[in-house]
Structure 1
Amino acid sequence: MQPDAMDRHYLPAAFAHRTINILLVGCGGNGSQMLMGLASLDTALRAISPRSLHVTTVDDDIVTEANLGRQPFYRCDLGNSKAHTLTERINLAHGLDWTAVHGRAPQAIGVDDSHILISCVDTASARRALGAALDHARSVPVYWMDLGNRATDGQYLIGCPSRAVDEYRRLPTVLEYFPELADESQPDDDAPSCSIAEALRRQSLFINRIVASHALGLLFDLLGRGSIGHAGGFINLASGQTVPIPLPRTE
């Protein structure tokens, strides 16, 4: 008999009545859009379930001229910490007490106390560093969601780094699904843009918002409705195509 794709992946029962701790790594293009969406997701979860979110953001970057327009920052934010600026703004708007760390993960903050890790980083080396931290963590998050993009396309994927998850239900992580990311010989393409115009030449204006919206929709299905039917997706703005990443096959 040929192996079949898993029909649904269900949220573990341990998430039923609790505050879900999320560690959001990166508050740039994808991360800033994710953070704003997580505030909306928290409001929705409180309305329809016993669950809520507590988010900790971490980013060592500051707001520059090139970030204006494509990321939700304003001229008054120039020179300020991205993580602190966005987190404080959301706390004031929503009456929350989410936490911000100005630094680089995993050095500035560990992954041990998180239920869900969301990585919105620019380079393969940053993903490898997070993967290594997960390998040595005393308490591994149940889920690791990763977002990435290029000029006009992107992808999002949720996986299960936790060894406590039953193998039948475990979803491959980004490092397992894209093993080429583990190749340390590949150079990182993380050169910063110096102006708004250059940033827009490097990336489409709304690619981050669209990738983050799809990722947030998947999180809402998982945390709000209890299950998901795919593990992520590929999005191409140039062709207008969106292709889901299926759940893993089982024997």
Structure 2
Amino acid sequence: MTLLQHRIPPCMINGAWKVVVVGAGGTGSALLPNLARLHHAMLELGHPGGIDCTVYDDDTVSETNVGRQGFYPADVGGYKALLLVNRLNVLMGTRWVAVPRKLDAAEAVHADLVIGCVDTRAARKAILSASGQGGGAYYLDCGNETDRGQVILGEIRQPHPGRLPHVGDLFPDLVDPAGDKEDTAPSCSMADALRKQSLVINQAIGVQAFNLLWTFYRTGALPYSGVFVNLATGRTNPLALDPAAWARFGYVDQVPRPSKKESSKQRKSPRSRTGAAQATAV
């Protein structure tokens, strides 16, 4: 196993994190309050700017969303993005921005971190396209099905040694719109919706994303780059910072391999062997 070392970029230490969240539904409404807590904690720990967040979502609250998502009966009919952002701004003193429309794949999104809380492959593809055009640094995918899902933090920038693969690198089918289901009609009732999806899965995914970002900030490094959650079995499995682990999903890391001569020297020197087992990416 060749574990890599990935440290937080200087720009995210010395200035506010410019974060874009796409999707304010089930997972988005679970994650955003935690993102506001992270912002507050960062400021308390001396970070110069915390989090500057923009939220995209064109959907409005329906009666079936109440109880399953972070909304209340009085919210029905209102835009999800506006409701959540305005509420957090009042409660936490933030100045976040809500954009009550879909993110356009053709626009350039300039951000340190883009978080996708979407439920279609087309939306994921649009996020990666817009983030790539804006020269974004990281994409954190928060996806789920009935009772399982994944949280994967990857880099959007061009391939380089030690680059973190994003969800599209590891699971190309998750960014292929051809795989989206044709039936996207909303559930007729909350009971119907609960038969299709666990009441807990959005919160579980939101907590894992929150923990990953908190760890990244608090320690300055990533212990892993993703988590797979399965509520049916009660298990969570991390995605190691390991090119061999990524290769099992079909992604080949572009880390230069040592020559036979270099390998021979590494076998003779324990210090060299330790150094060769680490790579730093920023």
TM-score, normalization by structure 1 = 0.91
- CA-CA distance at 1:41 after TM superposition: 0.3
Alignment CA distance shift 1:184-1:87 (3 Å)? closer
Answering whether residue 152 of structure 2 is matched by residue 154 of structure 1, we say no
Root mean square deviation of aligned Cα: 1.8
- Aligned-partner SS, 1:227: coil
What is the match of residue 267 of structure 2?
none
Deviations 1:120-176 (A, max 9, x none): 0011111112222234x1x3211100001111111100000023xx82232001110
Q: Is residue 48–residue 224 contact of structure 1 (8 Å, CA) maintained in 2?
A: no
Q: Distance in 1 between matches of 2:25 and 2:219?
A: 28
Q: Does 1:20 align with 2:17?
A: yes
Secondary structure of 2:14's aligned partner: coil
Offset at residue 211 of structure 1 (A)? 0.8
Match 1:176 to one of 165, 169, 178:
169
Give the structure 2 partner of residue 241 of structure 1. 235
8 Å contact from structure 2 (residues 114, 131) kept in 1: no
Query: What secondary structure, in the 3-state scheme, does the structure 1 residue paired with 2:163 have?
Result: coil
Q: Identify the residue that residue 208 of structure 2 maps to in structure 1.
A: 214
The amino acid that maps onto 1:181 is L
Deviation at 1:207, TM superposition (A): 0.8
Structure 2 unaligned segments of length 5 or more: list them.
244-254, 258-282
Question: Cα distance 1:169–1:223, how it changes in 2: closer, same or farther (>3 A)?
Answer: farther
Q: What's the CA shift string for 1:72-110, capped at 9, x where partnerless?
A: 100100000000000000000011110000000126x94
C-alpha displacement at 1:182, in angstroms? 4.0
Deviates more, 1:147-156 or 1:49-58: 49-58
CA distance in structure 1 between the aligned counterparts of 2:141 and 2:206, rounded to whole angstroms: 10
Distance 1:110 1:223 in 2: 28
The answer as to whether partners of 1:143 and 1:159 remain within 8 angstroms in 2 is yes
**Which of these residues, 221, 224, 239, is aligned with residue 227 of structure 1?**
221
- The equivalent of 1:144 in structure 2 is 139
Does residue 69 (structure 1) correspond to residue 70 (structure 2)? The answer is no
Instruction: State the 1:186 CA deviation.
Output: 2.1
In the alignment, which residue of structure 1 is the partner of 2:118? Answer: 121
Q: CA deviation at 1:111?
A: 4.4
Higher RCO, 1 vs 2 (CA within 8 Å, ≥6 residues apart): 1
Once the two structures are superposed, the pairs formed by residues 87-102 of structure 1 within 5 Å of their partners are 87-102=85-100
Between Structure 1 and Structure 2, which shows a larger proportion of strand residues? 1
Pairs aligned (count): 243
Q: 1:15 to 1:123 in 2, by over 3 A?
A: same
Residues 26 and 59, structure 1, Cα contact 8 Å, conserved in 2: yes
Structure with greater proportional helix content: 2
User: Is the deviation greater in 83-92 or in 184-193?
Assistant: 184-193
Q: Deviations over 1:12-68 (max 9, x none)?
A: 122221011100000001111111110000011111132400110010000001101
CA distance in 1, matches of 2:93, 2:175: 40
**Distance in 1 of aligned mates of 2:32 and 2:53:** 8
- In the alignment, does 2:131 pair up with 1:134? yes
User: % of aligned pairs identical?
Assistant: 36
Instruction: Give the equivalent residue in structure 1 for 2:56.
Output: 58
TM score, norm. by length of structure 2 = 0.81
| Larger Rg over CA atoms | 2
